[in-house]
Structure 1
């Protein structure tokens, strides 16, 4: 059987696939990654990988003047989504999927930073997101998006309604970070954006304590979710 290839797009070095790597590799994917700062990124065919994973980042989809690669990535991502190629977006990656589908991405009224559970909607309780029901997972964002046409909303939180959506079996967008909880890069997040923790009404010590206490269970649930989603790809 030919080797399946998964490509991770990193928008910043300290936002990698983290806990999701294990189920992706367990499903037989050879995992590679590319940074948006790589000169080769602008000419990369995003329709080619068997699985595309787009991770987070501190930028906004609307900051295309500051980050010209965003518009370039959106155009190529739209082609991939039109072809219904398996695609996973996390946080900024989820917002990119939404934007490529024609949704509006914008700065929300509040920062959502910390560990808390999402409410998995009734229509999703028999699918991959059922593994997250009642499990606190990490949130770290201030942007949100309108729901694209022809997608199914899967989860919400008390801060933002649009936490996860899918289109069919192959396209999954997750606003939260169920991949984080056992990755040392969490320290870099706090060092890079300490103000976001305070803006969300928290403090560094409490967040670090939550990461220690809740992180392993979050990653376990996140891995189970991704494993089930990968099994359902067509």
Structure 2
């Protein structure tokens, strides 16, 4: 009985070893423009927002104007910009604070996606002419607090968490022509939108490591009226973090999809 040559098919033709086929190089994806990240302390991190942007393929252009980093004169080379929180106030007279508030005119004028988180939202409000001030009774939101999305907020992003994480002692009025997206208790304006810009009073960027660091280094602030005790922060995270994390993913998808009107007109042509 003849033994069949394993290198040939039953019909006598030679087999093709798929392992030896020349590989076809994959078509390189179009590189995304970076997102400008503005931070305020040497140890600051873009946290969960940075992680989500990287996961979507966006490089991060991290700058700290407080320590001398320049801000771009245009966002033509960026997909958007985010100003994060910090221990300072938008009312502080420091040069870098004034410079950041003035610089927000760039994404507003160019209609680029802009996101302000906590201090960043207060800076945006001030750029738009709204008042930023402490609570009249000296209260703070430090920990998890309930939030109520408006109809406009639900149109923007349908699934909001019922509690979000905060760390602030100042709030702001709703800027003129801005749309209220979410309301709160001691600080009524929790989220708003102005054209391509969004301000969030709360902190969807906070990771577990950031929460540990903030509640340790900022422990004295937990004695502020209205602040939650340290253990409530971690208890609240176990209950509310999944919903807040899911909301952030949906929000960022919509935020990144916003394009300048001029760019949309060019695409239509």
Q: Report the Cα offset of residue 2 of structure 1.
A: 5.3
CA–CA distance in structure 1, aligned partners of residues 181 and 201 of structure 2: 11
| Structural mapping, 1:199-214, within 5 Å | 199=224, 200-214=226-240
| Structural mapping, 1:7-156, within 5 Å | 7-39=36-68, 41=69, 43-48=70-75, 49-64=78-93, 67-109=94-136, 110-128=139-157, 130-134=158-162, 136-156=163-183
Residues 174 and 115 (structure 1), Cα distance of their counterparts in 2 relative to 1, 3 Å cut: same
Q: Which has the higher contact order (CA 8 A, sep 6+)?
A: 1
Q: Report the Cα offset of residue 209 of structure 1.
A: 2.4
Q: Greater strand percent: which structure? A: 1
Q: Report the Cα offset of residue 139 of structure 1.
A: 1.1
Residues 107 and 201 (structure 1), Cα distance of their counterparts in 2 relative to 1, 3 Å cut: closer
Instruction: Note if contact 2:142-2:167 (Cα within 8 Å) is conserved in structure 1.
Output: yes
| Structural mapping, 1:185-224, within 5 Å | 185-199=210-224, 200-224=226-250
CA–CA distance in structure 2, aligned partners of residues 96 and 3 of structure 1: 27
Q: Report the Cα offset of residue 75 of structure 1.
A: 1.7
RMSD: 2.0
The two structures have a TM-score, normalised by structure 2, of 0.76
Between the two proteins, the alignment pairs up a number of residues equal to 226
Q: Greater Rg, structure 1 or structure 2?
A: 2
Q: Which runs of 5+ in 2 are unaligned?
A: 1-29, 261-269
**Deviation per CA, 1:82-126, whole angstroms, max 9, x where unpaired?**
222211110000001111111121122310111133100012212
CA–CA distance in structure 2, aligned partners of residues 147 and 201 of structure 1: 23
For the residue of structure 1 that corresponds to 2:59, the secondary structure is: strand
Q: Report the Cα offset of residue 216 of structure 1.
A: 3.5
Instruction: Note if contact 1:19-1:223 (Cα within 8 Å) is conserved in structure 2.
Output: no
